[in-house]
Amino acid sequence: MSFNAVTSSFKVARRRRSARTEALRTGGVAGAALVAFALIGAYAVMDKRHVVEGMLTLSQLAGLLMVFAAGYATGRDARAGSAAALANALLAGLIAGACLSLLVWLIAAVNLRATLIAASPMLARALSLGAPVASAQALFQLPLLGAAGALAGALVARLPGDARRAALSGLAAVVAAGLFRDVFASMLENMPDPTGPESEVFGPAGINSGAALVLFFLVAALSMVRGRLRRPARVPRSGMSRPAMVLLFAGVVLLPLVTNDFVAQVAMLVALYMLMGMGLNIELGLAGLVDLGFVAFFAVGAYTVALLCSTGPLAIADVSFWVALPVAVLLAAAAGMLFGLPVLRVRGDYLAMATLGLGEIIRVLVLSDWLAPHLGGSQGIIEIDHPRLFGYELKSPASLYYLALALSGVVAFVSYRLQHAKIGRAWLAMREDEDVAQALGIDPVASKLLAYTIGAAFAGAAGAVFAALIGSVYPHSFQLLVSINVLAILVIGGLGSLPGVLVGAIVLIGLPELLREFGEFRYLFYGIALVAMMHVRAEGLWPASHVREATNAA
Amino acid sequence: MSDLPASNLPASDLPGSAKEPGAVSEWLRRSTWVDHILLAIRIGVAALVLVGLAGGIAAGTYSAADFASFTMFGLTIGSIYALIALGYTMVYGILRMINFAHGDVMMVGSFAGLFAAGGLNDTGLLGALPLLALPLVLAAGMAAGALVSIAIERIAYRPFLHVRSLAPLICAIGMSFILQYAARGLFGTRNRAYPGFGWMEGAVTFAGFTMPIPQIVAFVAALMVLAGLLAVVKLSRLGKAMRAVSEDRDAAALVGIDVSAVIVATFAIGGAMAGVAGVLYALVFKQITVFMGFFLGVKGFAAAILGGIGNLGGAMLGGLVLGVAEALGPALILEGYGIPAPYQLKDVIGYGMLVMILIFRPQGLLGERLAAKRA
């Protein structure tokens, strides 16, 4: 956020530590992270998925990345000389690995399962990496591996700029290829060549080790060449370059065509969340209204379409989706206005709580027996017709994806125009300082209400598409988590930034769907991402232009 | 926070608050269309409640004994809300921010209590001497709550102490998710049952009314803890420092108060209270899950607002009022409309009260001067 009004001159002093102490601390933190990773059950679950075929599982990769990061951070410490930094990193890695060894020994020696369900013999076996469970070899190899990983991190950190960038991009490419094997393999499958190179590059779960090596050097070399070709004075924190933008949008449009149905379905979900994200972006990103009851308007849209388009017993009409869509949008906007009127005098954190309360009231009402004769209660409404276009039923994930994408395009256009109109500037002014904005003649209630109503209308559109996509609506789909998801998308992408919504939706909705092993832990990841984002890059992955200017000027 | 401008409170420009003659016409002249709609909502809600109340009393579905047991239940859950509310109120008093992850602190305290109770159950102490075991279990819950709360302060609040932004709110939402889903990974999704506390499991009959003992124990324990906290805040040196920091952080730092330490202590005490709430909740309801914290936290927040945020006595009052309203509301008001299964809508009453108070009386029942500024 950009409104950094200083509310107190009181500031916390940061303690200074020596490079060695810092390294010990980093090692301890990495060790704690590794132990936590194992104990929440993520290690055992992710161990089933190979990233590099037959060599490296997802959980091993995650563990290695943790010590690698610890080593990298230690290696970057400019106060120590090269040799000292490497030694420090070695130490940090040893400590991190030792923490994990201790855990293995504990699991083998004491039965922890009554308290910690993940501390199972299976975990001990997985962590022993093929050696006899909790044997001396198993216990000693972990610190050594940790030290090796951290040393590698420190070495990379100590490389000169170009080489370091090359090594990191090579690594990133291999990890990405291994993780998103499904996307890339299905793309290769769709290539015209019938024999297909796919079988050689990808195994059943991950990338093949030979292909991984080739890919690493290929990308590293490309990065080197790119570094040599142009050495621009890079503006710090400048969002994304133009080619990257073109690539991203091309990917968004073409993706479902070149991959399989599963990927198309994920893309559809991303588009849906983009639609909601743009709605909340108007409320939160532009007008600064923290709305945690956003899902209520999504529900209004979805239930409207369900009631109007269903062939089930609860339907009140059986009209086409194209008639129901505007009705849903209008009703959601009306609901937004109805809620917004009283609530919008409340500010800041209080508004978050008030809207959360409203959202929950709606969910509890929809779920209750009282309204069940009309809304179906927990049974929901089923048998919603798919939309038809020129006599063609939009049923396949790809066609529905394009429907959601087209709506997103419309909404993005409207958002863009609003943002740069007078009302958009009024919203921004109000977000920065409501009292000053009011003094300048902006009617805070009217402009807030407009933001809230438009945001609700967009959410209603998303809900309408959602009902058509899924073919049924249940109260279960309208939990607080949806609101939080959308909030997280905005924060990760950058508050007030339209492309940020796309980036946020891809990162938070698309990636976890594609990494199915991730499923259980996705909200944990959300939490970590929110906290980390606020600490490291509060303006988001793709900051809004005015935020970017402010950050660059500072 | 003298540099934050005061907002106009909606309550002050309503006819009821004006004393001089001609107040109605004066209000009509000065009010806007928004005020009119808000007034209409007020009247509408009041009418809904009154009609429901009349209908509920006329319907006579429940006996006096039913209402007595509803009230006792309401007081019990209300005292738990009050304990949670204290954490919100204390943190708000000092930082002017809501600790969004506070409900999950309560969940962590509850789980710590579960493991302590499990250990004591193995030694047989829990069944034999529950009055000795309960304080030990409470201590475990308090310790865990305080630790988690300190961690939250460290991660979500301290780095953003000197700027006003959304960062602490978003960080706290993130922390809430981390706590919930880390606990889910660590302890599993299924419900965990507390072991029995010996004689505390039964019920007593007093003057013709039967009361479950756990409810009475929880209520009394909550009152004792609340009294202890009040004593700390009103009488101790730390309490004085806390009140000073809450008045003016910079001035407090000037006179030599370690502001950081006071903030940490505030979070720790609030977390400990949430830990107590977690254990007492488990004592009454027997079952705990990793997801119970969030919505109980929202209720606790509603209680804090209801009483007047920043006001310790108000938090207690708000908790009890909210608990009783939730316990009696469905039977009294919703029954009057002939709504089937009114207890499904218990939460609507709780959340509805939260929204109504935030809109119409953000300073709460006991009205704290400080609360008006940010609300």
DSSP assignments along A263-330, one per residue:
HHHHHHHHHHHHHHHHHHIIIIIIT----S-THHHHHHHHHHHHHHHB-STT-S----HHHHHHHHHH
User: Average pLDDT of B353-365?
Assistant: 82
pLDDT of residue B264: 92
Handedness of CA A516, A518, A519, A525 (dihedral sign): negative
Question: What per-residue confidence (pLDDT) applies to B8?
Answer: 42
Interchain pair A8, B352: CB under 8 A: no
- Which residues of B are less than 8 Å from A347 in CB distance? 7, 374-375
* Chain A residues inside the 8 Å CB shell of B97: 349
Q: What is the pLDDT of residue B275?
A: 93
pLDDT at A309 over 90: no
Looking at residue A512, its pLDDT comes to 80
Least confident of A334-338, B128-132, B226-230: B128-132
Residue pointed to by tokens 């940061």: A14
Which tens digit of pLDDT belongs to each residue from A152-196? 988 888 888 788 888 888 888 888 888 777 777 777 776 665 455
CB-CB: which of B32, B163, B170 is closest to A491?
A: B170
Per-residue pLDDT, A548 = 61
Q: What is the pLDDT of residue A475?
A: 83
Which pLDDT score is estimated for B5?
42
Q: What pLDDT score was predicted for residue B144? A: 94
- On the question of pLDDT at B13 being above 60, the answer is no
Res B219: pLDDT: 86
Please judge whether B178 and A10 are an interchain contact, meaning their C-beta atoms are less than 8 angstroms apart.
no
Query: What pLDDT shows up at residue B323?
Result: 92
How far is residue A117's CA from residue A99's CA, in Å, rounded to a whole number? 19
CB contact under 8 A, A370 and B340: yes
Candidate from A75-84, A287-296, A398-407, A464-473 with smallest mean pLDDT: A75-84
Contact A7 B1 (CB under 8 A): yes
Per the CB < 8 Å rule, is B37 touching A341?
Answer: yes
A536 Cβ under 8 Å from any chain B Cβ: no
Which pLDDT band, with edges at 50, 70 and 90, does B367 fall under? low
Q: Give me the residue from A5, A360, A368 closest to B344, CB to CB.
A: A368
Which of these ranges, A311-325, A467-481, B348-362, has the smallest mean pLDDT? A311-325
Contact B163 A7 (CB under 8 A): yes
Quick check: helix, strand or coil at residue B45? helix
Looking at the complex, report in whole angstroms how far the Cα of residue B170 sits from the nearest Cα belonging to chain A. 7
pLDDT in tens, B24-35: 888 877 777 778
Least confident of A31-35, A179-183, A238-242: A238-242
A54 SS3 class: coil
Tell me, letter by letter, the H, E, C secondary structure of A335-394.
HHHHHHHHHCCCCHHHHHHHHHHHHHHHHHHHHCCCCHHHHCHHHCECCECCCEECCEEC
What's the mean pLDDT in B191-203? 78
For residue A208, CA distances in Å to A11, A55, A197, B52 come to: 52, 9, 12, 69
Over pLDDT 90: what percentage of chain B? 16
- Among A99, A180, A207, residue whose Cα is nearest residue A143: A99
pLDDT beyond 60 at A198: no
Highest mean pLDDT among A9-13, A510-514, B332-336: A510-514
- Chain A: give the shortest CA distance to residue B50, in Å: 20
Specify the higher pLDDT residue, B206 or B329: B329
Task: Give the closest-approach CA distance of B209 to chain A in angstroms.
Answer: 31
CB distance A364–B348 less than 8 Å?
yes
The pLDDT assigned to B109 comes to 93
CA gap A115, B130 in Å, rounded: 22
Confidence at B52, pLDDT banded by 50, 70, 90? confident
Outline where B11-101 has alpha helix (H).
23-30, 33-59, 64-95
| Strand extents, DSSP E, chain B | 163-164, 192-193, 203-206, 209-212, 287-288
Residue A535, judged by CB atoms within 10 A of its CB (0-12, 13-18, 19+), counts as middle
**Residue A160, CA atoms < 13 Å, CB-side half-sphere:** 3
Angle between helices B259-285 and B64-95 in degrees, nearest 10: 160
Cα–Cα distance, B8 to B141 (Å, whole number): 41
Instruction: Give the model confidence (pLDDT) of A490-516 as tens digits.
Output: 888 888 888 888 888 888 888 887 777
Asked if residue B310 has pLDDT above 70, the reply is yes
Joined together, the tokens standing for residue B361 give 């009386």
B345:A364 CB<8 A: yes
Q: For the purposes of burial, counting CB atoms within 10 Å of the CB of A214, is it exposed (0-12), middle (13-18) or buried (19 or more)?
A: middle
Contact yes or no for B187 and A360 at CB 8 A: no
Q: What is the pLDDT of residues A95-147, one digit of tens each?
A: 999 998 898 888 888 887 777 888 888 888 888 877 777 778 888 888 899 89
Q: Using 50, 70 and 90 to split pLDDT, how confident is the model at B372?
A: very low
The whole-angstrom distance between B92's CA and the closest CA on chain A is 11
Q: What is the DSSP string of A518-529?
A: GGGGHHHHHHHH
The tens digit of pLDDT for each residue in A275-300 reads: 889 989 888 888 888 888 888 999 99
pLDDT confidence of residue A232: 52
The pLDDT confidence band at residue B9, using thresholds 50, 70 and 90, is: very low
How many other β-carbons are positioned within 10 Å of the β-carbon of residue A536?
Answer: 7
- Is the pLDDT at A537 greater than 50? The verdict is yes
Among B167, B174, B340, whose Cβ lies nearest the Cβ of A369?
B340
- Is the separation of the CB atoms in A355 and A284 below 8 Å? no
The answer to whether A348 and A5 are in contact (CB under 8 A) is no
Q: Is pLDDT of B43 > 50?
A: yes
Among the listed residues A353, A375, A356, the one whose alpha carbon sits nearest the alpha carbon of residue A365: A375
pLDDT for A352 beyond 60: yes
Distance from CA of A356 to the nearest CA of B (A): 9
Q: Which of the residues B12, B161, B345 would you substitute to probe the A interface, choosing the one with the greatest number of A C-beta atoms within 10 Å?
A: B345
State mean pLDDT over A197-216: 74
Confidence (pLDDT) at B373: 42
Measured in angstroms, the CA of B72 and the nearest CA of chain A are apart by 25
Q: Say whether pLDDT at B211 is over 70.
A: yes
Query: How does residue A231 score in pLDDT terms, banded at 50, 70 and 90?
Result: low
A163 or A390: which leads in pLDDT = A163
Complex ipTM tops 0.95: no
Per-residue model confidence (pLDDT) at position B247: 84
Q: Which of A4, A341, A535 has the CB atom closest to B165's CB atom? A: A4
Report chain A residues whose CB lies below 8 A from the CB of B308. none
A255 near B CB under 8 A: no
Among A83-87, A192-196, A224-228, A305-309, the minimum mean pLDDT is found in A192-196
B353 → chain A, closest CA residue: A357
CB contact under 8 A, B171 and A12: no
Residue of chain B with shortest Cα separation from A525? B178
Put residue B22 in one of left, alpha, beta given phi > 0 → left and psi -120 to 50 → alpha: left
What pLDDT is attached to residue A552? 57
Residue B99: predicted pLDDT: 86
Average of per-residue pLDDT values in chain A: 80
pTM of the model: 0.84
B139 pLDDT higher than 90:
yes
Q: State whether residue A45 sits within 8 Å of chain B by CB.
A: no
Q: Which residue has the tokens 């502001």?
A: B259
Pairwise CB contact (< 8 Å): A353 & B4: no
- Helix and strand numbers, DSSP H then E, in chain B: 15, 5
3-state DSSP percent of chain B in helix, strand and coil, to 5: 75, 5, 20
| Touching B: A residues 455-494, CB under 8 Å | 480, 484, 487, 491
Nearest to A343 among B165, B352, B359 (CB): B359
Question: Picking from A511-515, B14-18, B69-73, B291-295, which range would have the lowest pLDDT averaged per residue?
Answer: B14-18
Selected residue of B43, B89, B96, B162 to mutate for chain A interface (largest A Cβ count, 10 A): B162
CA distance A324 to chain B (A): 29
Identify the pLDDT of residue A550: 62
Mean pLDDT of A431-437: 83
Binned at pLDDT 50, 70 and 90, residue B14 comes out as: very low
pLDDT digits 0-9 by tens, B64-90: 778 888 888 888 889 999 989 988 888
pLDDT at A75: 83
Query: Mean of the pLDDT values across residues A38-66?
Result: 83
pLDDT above 70 covers what percent of chain A? 90
CB contact under 8 A, B359 and A346: yes
Q: Does A529 touch chain B (CB under 8 A)?
A: yes
Q: What number is the average pLDDT over the span A241-256?
A: 74
Return the number of CB contacts < 8 Å for A and B. Answer: 204
